[in-house]
Amino acid sequence: MLRLFESWGLITNEAGRLTATAASARYLSGKSPDSVASYIATMKYKSSVRELYEVLRDGGANTWHVWRGVTKSWDALMQTDEFADLNTRGMEERGQVFAPHLATLLDCTDESSIIDVGGGSGVYSAYLLMRYPALTATILERPPVDQLARRCLTERKLYPDRARVIAGDMFVDPLPRDASLHLYSHVLHNWGSDKVRLS
Ligand SMILES: C[S@@+](CC[C@H](N)C(=O)[O-])C[C@H]1O[C@@H](n2cnc3c(N)ncnc32)[C@H](O)[C@@H]1O
């Protein structure tokens, strides 16, 4: 929440010292004549805000509430072809924005191989491979996303020579032991800490 408030310009965080900005003092302080605090307070009765509140109270697990037909589990939907395809396309599109920056910021000079756990289309590994020609990658994904990853990496001419794709479950199957770099991108936020420790 603090990061969110910071990005909204409501607080500043200088070495852990949190300070309300002029905007939040003006609009959110009950003492200010311009306060909209009562208006904001009504939001807590909205179902979407309630859901966020419950997630925070639960310790951050189950952050993806979905509703499609009779299915309410994101995890279950991701194992169906149509949703997995749509979601993986979405991850790929977002990755095309972020992955070039990862490849610029993450120094892989001394790395030999990546294991990209829950790697989706493999877009983050792909950009790292494009920047570091000696690097290889393994994408671990559950079916049917593993097939989508193979397709995307083939289009990028990285599969099968520099990238391989393993179908598996990160909570159950042993990870390949030869990787020097373990990449978890937008993966661990879906579960609580007990389950995350398992991966
Ligand atoms: C939010 S997506 C992130 C994909 C990619 N890492 C990215 O950042 O674009 C989470 C991915 O984790 C995969 N995943 C979820 N549970 C998994 C499991 N138990 N084992 C392996 N992959 C899993 C999903 O199939 C999905 O592609």
> Which tokens go with 178?
């030869």
According to CATH, where is 3.40.50.150 located in the chain?
74-198
Which secondary structure element, helix H or strand E, spans residue 47, and what is its range? helix 47-57
Q: How far, in Å, is the centroid of ligand 1 from the Cα of 117?
A: 7
* Dist CA 22 CA 24 (whole Å): 6
Q: How far, in Å, is the centroid of ligand 1 from the Cα of 88?
A: 9
Q: How far, in Å, is the centroid of ligand 1 from the Cα of 43?
A: 32
CATH number for the segment(s) 74-198: 3.40.50.150
What residues contact residue 114 under an 8 Å CB cut-off, 6+ apart?
108, 125, 128, 135, 136, 137, 138, 179, 180, 181, 182, 183
Q: pLDDT tens, position by position, for the chain (199 residues)?
A: 888 899 999 999 999 999 999 999 999 999 999 999 999 999 989 988 888 888 778 766 666 667 777 777 888 888 889 999 999 999 999 999 999 999 999 999 999 999 999 999 999 999 999 999 999 999 999 999 999 999 999 999 999 999 999 999 999 999 989 999 999 999 988 777 778 887 6
pTM value? 0.82
Ligand 1 probe mutation, 78, 82, 171, most atoms within 8 A of CB: 78
* β-strand partners of 20: 11
**In this predicted structure, what is the pLDDT of residue 76?**
86
- Tell the residue nearest (CA) to atom 22 of ligand 1: 118
What residues contact residue 148 under an 8 Å CB cut-off, 6+ apart?
84, 85, 88, 120, 121
* Dist CA 145 CA 80 (whole Å): 9
- Ligand 1 atom closest to residue 170's alpha carbon, by position in its atom list: 20
**In this predicted structure, what is the pLDDT of residue 152?**
98
CA distances from 189 to 64, 134, 197 (A): 9, 31, 12
**In this predicted structure, what is the pLDDT of residue 20?**
96
* Dist CA 107 CA 81 (whole Å): 35
- Tell the residue nearest (CA) to atom 16 of ligand 1: 118
**In this predicted structure, what is the pLDDT of residue 63?**
61
Give the number of C-alpha atoms closer than 13 A to the C-alpha of residue 158, restricted to the C-beta side. Answer: 29
* Dist CA 137 CA 121 (whole Å): 12
**In this predicted structure, what is the pLDDT of residue 68?**
75
- Tell the residue nearest (CA) to atom 27 of ligand 1: 120
* Dist CA 88 CA 120 (whole Å): 6
**In this predicted structure, what is the pLDDT of residue 27?**
96
- Tell the residue nearest (CA) to atom 9 of ligand 1: 91
